[in-house]
């Protein structure tokens, strides 16, 4: 097993050195759990962008959950409507009523509910407070966007708990560092992180996204790094200028470099 692991690592370094800018191996790590846990330890809020209904991402989070308390994580924020908080609390307190929690259909899947069950089994001393931060559907189309609403809930959580450390597990488009809309967009809303930084410039915030390999996706991270075995994580900087970040292709944004949009990526 040890020899096989060493061979995989050597192959990864060789492959990454051939496809990545600068000296590839300096940018990446294959220890995904350590990468996420270190970001949690070093920041007040980690915005972790996910591709919905992906078992690998949800299972990874479930495996990490028992170690959250060691990194000081006090809250896990989820993309569930805030009007479900009472049902979520009841489940976490009693273990009953999991099926009664209304989870958006785009997110809901057996693995997502297994993640909630895994958190509940940790017990109150080891699990973070699980909070539902999304805008209730009845308020869609109002004066406040979903991102602004979620930013408000996160800011209020930090205000109520000055020592809070939050992992927010959201769809990838919600965790971007900024939303610099194209000129033709006249009513574009600000990003969650933009709002938080405006209200609390002292907060240490890190944005990362999971990128699930898809050969049809117009994404250089997926195309170049997806073929690797397992997962690879890296911080982004100017060495990645010109790389396409496929998750933003559906948004009417002004051209931006990947490191201007997220701080790090995890490629599956």
pLDDT tens digits, 167-220: 999 999 999 999 998 888 877 899 999 999 999 999 999 999 999 998 878 899
Helix (H, G, I), strand (E, B) or coil at 240: helix
pLDDT tens digits, 86-100: 999 999 999 999 999
Domains and CATH numbers, the chain: 31-267 (3.40.50.11550)
Task: For helices 85-94 and 110-122, give the axis angle rounded to 10 degrees.
Answer: 60
Q: What is the dihedral of CA 87, 88, 94, 99, to 10 degrees?
A: 70
| Residue 27 to residue 225: CA distance in whole angstroms | 12
pLDDT tens digits, 31-83: 999 999 999 999 999 999 999 999 999 999 999 999 999 999 999 999 999 99
Residue with tokens 């496809």: 19
Kindly report each contact of residues 17-25 with a partner whose C-beta sits within 8 Å and lies 24 or more positions away, as own/partner. 19/224, 19/225, 20/224, 20/225, 20/239, 21/239, 21/240, 21/241, 21/243, 22/239
Q: Which comes out higher in pLDDT, residue 6 or 70?
A: 70
| CA proximity to 157, closest of 65, 70, 78, 77 | 77
22: alpha, beta or left, given left = phi > 0 and alpha = psi -120 to 50? left
Q: Does residue 30 register a pLDDT over 60?
A: yes
The rounded mean pLDDT for the chain is 91
Helix (H, G, I), strand (E, B) or coil at 245: coil
C-beta separation of 98 from 91 below 8 A: yes
* Token reading at 171: 């769809």
CA 94 and chain centroid, separation: 28
Q: What is the mean pLDDT of residues 242-247?
A: 93
Angle at 14 between CA 10 and CA 15, to 5 degrees: 115
| Residue 167 to residue 150: CA distance in whole angstroms | 13
């Amino acid at each position: 097993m040890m020899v096989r692991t060493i061979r995989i690592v050597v192959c990864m370094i060789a492959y990454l050195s051939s496809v990545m800018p600068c000296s590839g191996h300096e940018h990446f790590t294959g220890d995904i759990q350590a990468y996420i846990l270190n970001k949690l330890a070093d920041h007040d809020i980690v915005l972790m962008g996910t591709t919905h209904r992906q078992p690998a991402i949800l299972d990874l989070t479930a495996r990490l959950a028992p170690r959250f308390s060691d990194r000081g994580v006090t809250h896990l924020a989820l993309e569930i409507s805030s009007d479900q908080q009472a049902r979520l609390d009841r489940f976490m307190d009693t273990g009953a009523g999991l099926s009664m929690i209304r989870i958006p259909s785009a997110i809901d899947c057996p693995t997502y509910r297994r993640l909630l069950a895994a958190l509940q089994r940790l017990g109150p001393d080891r699990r973070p407070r699980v909070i539902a931060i999304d805008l209730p559907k009845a308020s869609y189309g109002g004066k406040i966007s979903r991102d602004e609403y979620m930013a408000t809930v996160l800011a209020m959580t930090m205000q109520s708990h000055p020592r809070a450390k939050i992992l927010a597990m959201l769809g990838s488009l919600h965790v971007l560092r900024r939303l610099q809309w194209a000129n033709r967009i006249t009513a574009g809303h600000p990003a969650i992180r933009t709002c938080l930084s405006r209200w609390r410039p002292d907060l240490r915030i890190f944005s990362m996204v999971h990128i699930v390999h898809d050969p049809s996706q117009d994404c250089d991270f997926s195309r170049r790094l997806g073929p690797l075995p397992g997962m690879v994580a890296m911080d982004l900087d100017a060495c990645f200028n010109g790389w396409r970040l496929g998750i933003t292709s559906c948004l009417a944004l002004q051209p931006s470099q990947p490191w201007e949009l997220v701080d790090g990526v995890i490629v599956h």
